[in-house]
Amino acid sequence: MKLTRILPKPFAIYYQEYDLNRTNRELEYYKAMVRVLEERSHEGHEELGKLKEETLERILEGKEKPQEKKVQTSDMWGSI
């Protein structure tokens, strides 16, 4: 929609600048959120790999028995 149809040109320019600045701020915010979530995901995958490796080592050493039932995260967090 053309703003000049409903607003005088100086107001349309002012509003367009305002809207563009607001959109750019939102874009920066969401880019930061993506970075944080990517870092959390990466760290979570690393930690999960370490835990699985440690568990496998303990099983092979005979210090721990293999789990008979696989625990799903939906079972763990479903009641929250």
Burial of 7 (0-12, 13-18, 19+ CB in 10 A): middle
Is this model's pTM higher than 0.75 or not?
no
Provide the pLDDT for residue 36: 97
Tell me the HSE value of 40 on the side-chain side, using a 13 A CA sphere. Answer: 6
Q: How confident is the model at residue 1 (pLDDT cuts 50, 70, 90)?
A: low
**pLDDT value for 30:** 98
Distance from C-alpha of 44 to C-alpha of 49, rounded to nearest angstrom: 9
Q: How far apart are CA 45 and CA 37, in angstroms?
A: 12
Pick from 24, 4, 29, 28: which is nearest to 14 by CA? Answer: 4
